[in-house]
Structure 1
Amino acid sequence: MRFHDPQLLFLLALLVPLFVWIRRSEGRRPALPLSAAFAGEPLPETLRSRLARLLPYLRLAVLALGIVALARPQAVARESQVQSRGMDLVLALDLSTSMLAEEQGREGRGENRLAAAKRVLSEFIGARKQDRIGLVAFAGRPYPAAPLTSDHQWLQGIVERLDTNSVEDGTALGDAILAGVNRLRQRPAEGRALILITDGRNNAGAEPQLAAQAAKALGIRVHAIGIGSRGSAVIPVPSPLGGTIYRRLDADLDAATLKGVAEITGGRYFEAGDATVLSRVFAEIDRLERTPVKEKVFFSYAELFRPLLAAALLLFLAEMLLRGGWLRRSC
């Protein structure tokens, strides 16, 4: 609770000497007026005499309630709305054929690179509730899979439907970066980042370093993730006899180029040999790409002076009725 005009509460101090005067007055006069003949004889105290002595205090209570009402007490209802500036993020995912490679562990073949990347991306999108996120898919050329959006459930559905047949094969890293930069360039200079996920080296389109310079000029960070182990993996290919066979695929990750792209733009380069490491990489990016959260607090007030004034009025009427009625002679 608060008071709109708290300075008026100092008027309560004026009631203190009035209270002292009432107490002293009680000792100087009897509750009932007596004739001189009986002035020296004590009379038994009655209910009327007791109530009569309370009437001045009733008037004092009326004044106190009136002063507090004038100060306008208010009940505070606190409503808090948390607003984050949020970020604009673009995810650029490699859909070249090599992303179908499956890492070989002690337990045999595991999840292919594309499936692992899609799963981790979907989890990352779900955790970034305040951000707008866009999606660029690329192989031999990039294409915009999804614009910047806050509809993360819809975006997760787009990620789930991505496959390597969406665009001609190849790895156009530079063009993918430029496509992501084009998505982000209309936004304010802070709170923008591009996350590039690939398992290969550039073999089509613009040079990645030149694309990184364009991102740097616009203040857009590029985090590059090299996915897949440095050893060999197996990739499914159609068999001439029908069905599917697995062909061994040597790693072709161009870590130096990806690291250079990240350094140019002020981003980070990560290597993720498997899905577990990839999850940790995205957790680190999630930590790095956070903007300050601003909290706006709104206050609404409910006026409480009306019931106080009503109580003061009722007490005043009661005091007047008692003083002019049943207790009239006692006063």
Structure 2
Amino acid sequence: MAVALPTWLPWFDALAWPWALLALPLPLLMHLLPARAGTAPALRVPYAAEPLASLGTAGAAVALRAGRLLLWLAWISLCIALARPQQLGEPVTPPQQGRQMMLAVDVSGSMSETDMMLGNQVVQRLSAAKAVLADFLDRRVGDRVGLLIFGERAYTLTPITGDLTTVRNQLNDSEVGLAGRDTAIGDAIALAVKRLREQPEGQRVLILLTDGVSNAGVLQPLRAAELAQAEGVRVYTVAFGGDGSYRLFGMQIPGGDDPVDEATLRRIADLTGGRSFRARNTDELAGIYAELERLEPVAAAGAAVRPRIERYAWPLALAMLFGGLAWLLPRRWA
């Protein structure tokens, strides 16, 4: 256990092995042993015996005292180095701990419809979804996020990871039709459940964005929702896209029925403890993801910690310096 040092010591803040300082009086104890009793010095300088013998009485006495002092300083420094002095670094805040989240994005053929406004430009639904999702990811620091796309089939683009930059890049590279032209909502949910199954309970979240009706795949959406419920995965569904109207000469012309199966998406969310949303434009979609941040907040960061930096090299260097001087001193007087 590390022992904190007084605050007035400017070089070190703690000793990891303070018991090593018990070795400090060892040379004196060796002097007190019966076999060593007498006038023998506590610290001997065997390599300096012959040079000192050739010196005069005054010079020899000075050199001997200086050699003993240097050896004592070397021994003290060596003991301090053995005690592993440490210094506290700058406070570091541990990373935030958030949710284990999968994003399921529809890239079926209908996502190529150009009925969304992004800035002052008319863009495809997928382009608008990418922009909003990228902004959403920027604010999920601490979450571990995975990305899957689905159309006629469902594919995982990134596993659940804390590297949100990679997730954004993979999302940006996704194109309409990459997974087929139809929509397999059930298969997308089942694949997300499989990826989330190994994650901690209570943190498994799926956000599913689609603009159509499930018309492909092996698993029916409600059956997949039951699997998600059994595995403790909360599913938030986002029905995205226009309401069937279209633009003609700058005017919005009412169209047919809403192409999104909101009833099924709402049932999926209800079964799994999530919520269902409807976004008919980019602003509404951005508002939905802001609401998701409130429903699934990133946990607050833990208390800041100060890393311990090893500083044993400093006293070890001093021990070598003092030992070297003690070795050179008698040769200087010879």
What's the TM-score once normalised by structure 2's chain length? 0.59
Candidates 230, 250, 261, aligned match of 1:217: 230
- Secondary structure of the 2:287 match is helix
8 Å CA contact 1:180, 1:194 repeated in 2: yes
Alignment match, 1:85: 97
1:213 Cα offset (Å)? 1.0
1:210 Cα offset (Å)? 1.0
- Secondary structure of the 1:270 match is strand
1:277 matched to 2:284: yes
Alignment match, 2:328: none
Instruction: Determine the C-alpha separation between the residues in 2 that align with 1:4 and 1:134.
Output: 47
Residue identity in the other structure for 2:142 = Q
1:293 matched to 2:306: no
Q: Rate the CA distance shift 1:249–1:144 in 2: closer, same or farther, 3 A.
A: farther
1:98 matched to 2:110: yes
Instruction: Determine the C-alpha separation between the residues in 2 that align with 1:263 and 1:112.
Output: 29
- Residues 117-159 of structure 1 deviation map (CA, whole Å, 9 limit, x = unaligned): 0111111112111111111100111011111121112221111
Alignment match, 1:114: 126
8 Å CA contact 2:140, 2:298 repeated in 1: no
Residue identity in the other structure for 2:279 = A
8 Å CA contact 2:110, 2:211 repeated in 1: yes
Instruction: Determine the C-alpha separation between the residues in 2 that align with 1:172 and 1:291.
Output: 30
Q: Rate the CA distance shift 1:103–1:298 in 2: closer, same or farther, 3 A.
A: closer
1:82 Cα offset (Å)? 3.7
Alignment match, 1:136: 148
1:125 matched to 2:132: no
Question: Which has the higher Rg, Structure 1 or Structure 2?
Answer: 1
Across the aligned residues of Structure 1 and Structure 2, the Cα RMSD in angstroms comes to 3.1
Query: How many pairs does the alignment contain?
Result: 220
8 Å CA contact 1:134, 1:146 repeated in 2: yes
1:77 Cα offset (Å)? 8.0
Q: How does 1:149-298 map to 2 (within 5 A)?
A: 149-205=161-217, 206-233=219-246, 251-298=258-305
- Secondary structure of the 2:145 match is strand
Q: Rate the CA distance shift 1:76–1:215 in 2: closer, same or farther, 3 A.
A: same
Instruction: Determine the C-alpha separation between the residues in 2 that align with 1:79 and 1:282.
Output: 33
Q: Rate the CA distance shift 1:213–1:116 in 2: closer, same or farther, 3 A.
A: same
Q: Rate the CA distance shift 1:108–1:264 in 2: closer, same or farther, 3 A.
A: same
- Secondary structure of the 2:270 match is helix
Percent identity (aligned):
35
- Secondary structure of the 2:237 match is strand
Q: Which runs of 4+ in 1 moved over 6 A?
A: 75-78
1:294 Cα offset (Å)? 4.5
Instruction: Determine the C-alpha separation between the residues in 1 that align with 2:108 and 2:266.
Output: 20
Unmatched 5+ residue regions in structure 2?
Answer: 7-86, 248-254, 309-334
Q: How does 1:35-74 map to 2 (within 5 A)?
A: none
Residue identity in the other structure for 2:145 = I
1:233 Cα offset (Å)? 3.8
Residue identity in the other structure for 2:268 = V
Q: Rate the CA distance shift 1:78–1:109 in 2: closer, same or farther, 3 A.
A: closer
- Secondary structure of the 1:219 match is coil
Instruction: Determine the C-alpha separation between the residues in 1 that align with 2:130 and 2:89.
Output: 45
Instruction: Determine the C-alpha separation between the residues in 1 that align with 2:194 and 2:135.
Output: 25
Instruction: Determine the C-alpha separation between the residues in 1 that align with 2:127 and 2:95.
Output: 34
8 Å CA contact 2:91, 2:305 repeated in 1: yes
Residue identity in the other structure for 1:92 = A
1:80 Cα offset (Å)? 4.9
Residue identity in the other structure for 1:212 = A
Instruction: Determine the C-alpha separation between the residues in 1 that align with 2:151 and 2:241.
Output: 16
What's the TM-score once normalised by structure 1's chain length? 0.60
Instruction: Determine the C-alpha separation between the residues in 2 that align with 1:97 and 1:129.
Output: 32
Instruction: Determine the C-alpha separation between the residues in 2 that align with 1:84 and 1:109.
Output: 37
Unmatched 5+ residue regions in structure 1?
Answer: 6-74, 235-247, 302-331
Query: Higher strand fraction: Structure 1 or Structure 2?
Result: 1
Q: Rate the CA distance shift 1:78–1:118 in 2: closer, same or farther, 3 A.
A: closer
Q: Rate the CA distance shift 1:144–1:151 in 2: closer, same or farther, 3 A.
A: same
